[in-house]
Structure 1
Amino acid sequence: MEGGEANSVTEIPVEEEEFIDVDSALQVVEDEGEEEDHPMSDDDGQEDEPDEEDEIVQEIDMSNNSSAYFDKHSDSIFLVNVHSQAPLAVTGGGDDTGYVWTYHNETPQLLATLSGHTDSLVTGGFTPNGKFVVTGGMDGRVRLWRARAKGHEWEFWDSIQEVEEVTWISFHPTQTIFAFGSNDGSAWVYSYPKLENLCTLYGHTTSCTAGVFVPSGQPEETPVDEQEINLLTISDDGSVISWSIPSGEQNYKLMPTQFHYEAPWINLSLHQSGTSVAIGSADGKVTIVGTRTGNIIATLDVLGATGKNNIPEEEQSIEGIAWCDTMSVLAVGLVANVICLFDTGSWRVRRTLDVGDSITKIEFVPNSAVLVSSSMDGILRRWDVRNGDLLWKGTGHSSGILGFALADHGNTIVTASDEGVSLVYR
């Protein structure tokens, strides 16, 4: 075994139950000691002459085309995720707190407060089966909540703390396991609902910045308990490692010398087939790697593709990567206000999309050529990548959008913002 400590998987039965649907009448869960909610634009009965700041707020409200908002957070929102079956969102932020709430109501309803973190809640979400919420924080804690009453209620289930800071959480799509990374370079794989450590992975020398479970390529009829499980992790030390789970052995490890440059890897995006992954760096490069063998397929000079000269170092970071599932297109978003669309056949840039401010996330609407982007100007944008047309803008935020989640086949978008408000667009 190389770099890992392993345990076997223990299965715990969980009661099967359907989740709430859009037509469900949900009970609001009020926070004790908190005042009643008011709309963001309320003036609390003041009749003073409006000052310059009031005029700015009024202008923002007038351009707000969202359908609902959630404003329980008192600090920036870093995590936003939606349930796979029910109209539920989970958010978490710099106030060390998470919330589960409904996004289909004109006034979202709070279902649960996820407390217990002592530092910013930055990663996690609903498990693929929808029965649990997992949250990870800068306090190093990973906490688990379970759905009750068909998703009307969420109860605290269990917690672990293995590291100083959790950097990411990734769920296996079909098995009840998840992985998380740490700022010390380690990665950990756990089962749920019983939080049992399957293996601990040591192979990176600095922060483990992202990870994803990779399909094994086995036939679909392979029994779950016989399926191979592989996890791919990246680090800002420039290394890429494929792990076999739960043995903890390395399938392969790629070092900066094999990429012919050394750059911090900061994010990744797995192709729908699972056979390749696009990995983005802090200095404007994207490398395409074959997940099975670790072969380097292509290296993309995104900075050169922008056509911009002398991009400052702080604007070179790759902040978003997305594969289109209906066209041979890979979209790459830069801090430098631009999205580059690459042809995945030739790896040449097709066109660039100019955005008003730094990109924070991009994602394709499933089964379409529509790309959604968020940026620090507080605007969501929907693009048609076939011709580069801007189809729609989502406005209403007064500061940067830090991320978003697509729901209802892309017809609903839920945001996370720097101002601590989540908006719902339909």
Structure 2
Amino acid sequence: MSEVSMHDDREDEEEQQRREEDGEFLDPSSALDVIPDEAADDDHPMSDVEDDNDDGEGEGDEDEEIDMSNNSTTYFDKHTDSIFLVDLHPTLPLVVTGGGDDTGYVWTSHLVPPKLVTTLSGHTDSLVAGGFSPDGEWLVTGGMDGQVRIWRAHKRGQMWEFRDGLAEVDEVTWLAFHPTQPVFAFGAADSSAWVYSLAPKLDSLCVLYGHGGACTAGVFTPATSGDEEEINLLTASEDGTVISWSVPSGAQNFKLGPAQFHYEAPWVNLNLHPSGTSVAVGSADGKVAIIGTRSGSVIATVDVVGAVGAGAGGPRELTEEERSVEGIAWCESLNVLAVGLVGGIVCIFDTGSWRVRRTLEAGDAVTKIAFVPGTTELVASGMDGVLRRWDVRTGTELWRGTGHSQGVLGFALSRDGQTLVSASDEGVALVYK
């Protein structure tokens, strides 16, 4: 290599490092490829942002104002449709995304621009569920085509090899991993739930039928007998029932329905308390029920819509659609539960009294909420294209993640709370540090 070439390479590396430190980037909606500053005068096709080689110190530049509204560090834009699935590897700087283009990708979160690691093909409809296993060894995706496809890591995650596939149902609605065993479960629109082991080989543990409507959510719950091999799965349905299952026998530990909840509501999501002793389930009409995972007792029921009016200082009319509970999050550092609604409201409940502490305005329909691990800071994504972070103790907004031109459908947060990756309706994933 010539001295001139080596000098240019060093300049390229220094320029990329400077960009990472200064937070410079191209607006993802403006170009497909990052064009280095020094290439601006060469014979390369230019993006719509013709003056992006500005060093950030100029004034009055319209494109600079657009860049200033995007505080992400980098972006991934290979999807050609909405992104529904996003997850972060538990130990490696890897992201998996999947979307309405029937394709998934594994890519890096620490490089600018990201590097594509693996393309996940084979689905014939949108990828809507799945992610990395807790040990990082496996990757499983579920689609609206009813397929479940399984990949395994090779070369310490540098490659992902397709291992097997399932096609048991018409549409997968959710997918969950067991926290300590190589086991996963998924639910289907036909009311069923399926549990499989991944190792030493893919094997069906049980098929569960007990709901009268689509199985909308599920989570593995801790063993109750002290036997580490015991596996329990809790599922919810749009028919208003919640069932705890013993796997692999398929027996029901308990089943709750409208008679136990004292109302009939379609359950649409759930979230397990960090202790594993209780679970919160949310309905499409603004109700939340707290259930003991061991006893099956209904600990509390909360009318979130009613709490919105009380917490906001007056009644607020929400349409039927706006009442749906789209996000539930337990705080590890404070005795509170956060509930997000399609109406753009996040309610913070005291878990001792189940009274609302405060309400937070999210701007538009809430799509997901999660606490930064070990803190009282709550992150929410919304259909206004913005991510927000609050301290729930004070209700103070601490940060906004911007850069999307359409709604944010969800996000993934790293275990150390230092990396956040968003999934959007325009098919772009943004990485925030």
Range into which the TM-score falls when normalised by the shorter chain: 0.7 to 0.9
The yes-or-no answer on 1:205 pairing with 2:222 is no
Once residues 142 and 408 of structure 1 are traced to their aligned partners in structure 2, the CA distance between those partners, rounded to angstroms, is 26
Q: How does 1:165-184 map onto structure 2 within 5 Å?
A: 165-184=171-190
Equivalent pair of 2:74/2:432 in contact (CA under 8 Å):
yes
Offset, 1:49: 11
The yes-or-no answer on 1:38 pairing with 2:33 is yes
Of residues 402, 409, 413, the one that matches 1:395 is 402
The yes-or-no answer on 1:418 pairing with 2:425 is yes
Name the CA shift for 1:153/1:299 in 2 (closer, same or farther; >3 Å): same
Of residues 381, 400, 410, the one that matches 1:374 is 381
Q: In the alignment, what sits opposite 1:18?
A: none
Q: How does 1:21-420 map onto structure 2 within 5 Å?
A: 38-39=33-34, 44-45=45-46, 60-193=66-199, 194-219=201-226, 224=228, 227-307=229-309, 308-420=315-427
Q: In the alignment, what sits opposite 1:15?
A: none
* Residue identity in the other structure for 2:158: H
Give 3-state SS (helix, strand or coil) of 2:268's partner. Answer: strand
Once residues 59 and 162 of structure 1 are traced to their aligned partners in structure 2, the CA distance between those partners, rounded to angstroms, is 50
Give 3-state SS (helix, strand or coil) of 2:213's partner. Answer: coil
* Residue identity in the other structure for 2:407: G
Once residues 344 and 91 of structure 1 are traced to their aligned partners in structure 2, the CA distance between those partners, rounded to angstroms, is 34
Once residues 212 and 92 of structure 2 are traced to their aligned partners in structure 1, the CA distance between those partners, rounded to angstroms, is 40
1:254-312 CA-partner distances (Å, limit 9, x unpaired): 11121111110000010011110000000000000111111001110100111143211
Once residues 379 and 46 of structure 1 are traced to their aligned partners in structure 2, the CA distance between those partners, rounded to angstroms, is 25
Offset, 1:129: 1.2
Name the CA shift for 1:341/1:89 in 2 (closer, same or farther; >3 Å): same
Offset, 1:72: 0.7
Once residues 44 and 342 of structure 1 are traced to their aligned partners in structure 2, the CA distance between those partners, rounded to angstroms, is 54
* Residue identity in the other structure for 1:267: N
Normalization by structure 1: what TM-score?
0.86
* Residue identity in the other structure for 2:162: F
Give 3-state SS (helix, strand or coil) of 2:150's partner. Answer: strand
Name the CA shift for 1:116/1:346 in 2 (closer, same or farther; >3 Å): same
Once residues 47 and 405 of structure 1 are traced to their aligned partners in structure 2, the CA distance between those partners, rounded to angstroms, is 30
Equivalent pair of 1:60/1:397 in contact (CA under 8 Å):
no
- Which sections of structure 1, spanning at least 5 residues, go unmatched? 1-35
Give 3-state SS (helix, strand or coil) of 1:143's partner. Answer: strand
Give 3-state SS (helix, strand or coil) of 2:411's partner. Answer: strand
Name the CA shift for 1:61/1:44 in 2 (closer, same or farther; >3 Å): farther
The structure, 1 or 2, with the larger RCO (C-alpha pairs under 8 Å, 6+ apart) is: 1
Equivalent pair of 2:34/2:113 in contact (CA under 8 Å):
no
* Residue identity in the other structure for 2:120: L
Offset, 1:155: 1.1
- Which sections of structure 2, spanning at least 5 residues, go unmatched? 1-30, 52-60, 310-314
1:322-341 CA-partner distances (Å, limit 9, x unpaired): 00001100000001111000
1:336-375 CA-partner distances (Å, limit 9, x unpaired): 1110000000000001111111100000011110101100
Normalization by structure 2: what TM-score?
0.85
Once residues 49 and 118 of structure 2 are traced to their aligned partners in structure 1, the CA distance between those partners, rounded to angstroms, is 37
Once residues 399 and 48 of structure 2 are traced to their aligned partners in structure 1, the CA distance between those partners, rounded to angstroms, is 36
Once residues 72 and 280 of structure 2 are traced to their aligned partners in structure 1, the CA distance between those partners, rounded to angstroms, is 32
Equivalent pair of 2:373/2:415 in contact (CA under 8 Å):
no
Equivalent pair of 2:127/2:144 in contact (CA under 8 Å):
yes
Name the CA shift for 1:257/1:393 in 2 (closer, same or farther; >3 Å): same
Once residues 93 and 368 of structure 1 are traced to their aligned partners in structure 2, the CA distance between those partners, rounded to angstroms, is 31
Once residues 150 and 228 of structure 1 are traced to their aligned partners in structure 2, the CA distance between those partners, rounded to angstroms, is 30
Give 3-state SS (helix, strand or coil) of 2:373's partner. Answer: coil
Q: How many residues align?
A: 382
Give 3-state SS (helix, strand or coil) of 1:346's partner. Answer: coil
Once residues 109 and 208 of structure 2 are traced to their aligned partners in structure 1, the CA distance between those partners, rounded to angstroms, is 37
Equivalent pair of 2:90/2:415 in contact (CA under 8 Å):
no
Offset, 1:149: 1.1
Once residues 118 and 185 of structure 1 are traced to their aligned partners in structure 2, the CA distance between those partners, rounded to angstroms, is 22
Equivalent pair of 2:49/2:63 in contact (CA under 8 Å):
no
Give 3-state SS (helix, strand or coil) of 1:306's partner. Answer: helix
Offset, 1:61: 3.3
Offset, 1:206: 1.0
Name the CA shift for 1:107/1:46 in 2 (closer, same or farther; >3 Å): closer
Q: Which of the two has higher C-alpha Rg?
A: 2
Once residues 91 and 253 of structure 1 are traced to their aligned partners in structure 2, the CA distance between those partners, rounded to angstroms, is 34
- CA-based RMSD of the aligned residues comes to 2.1
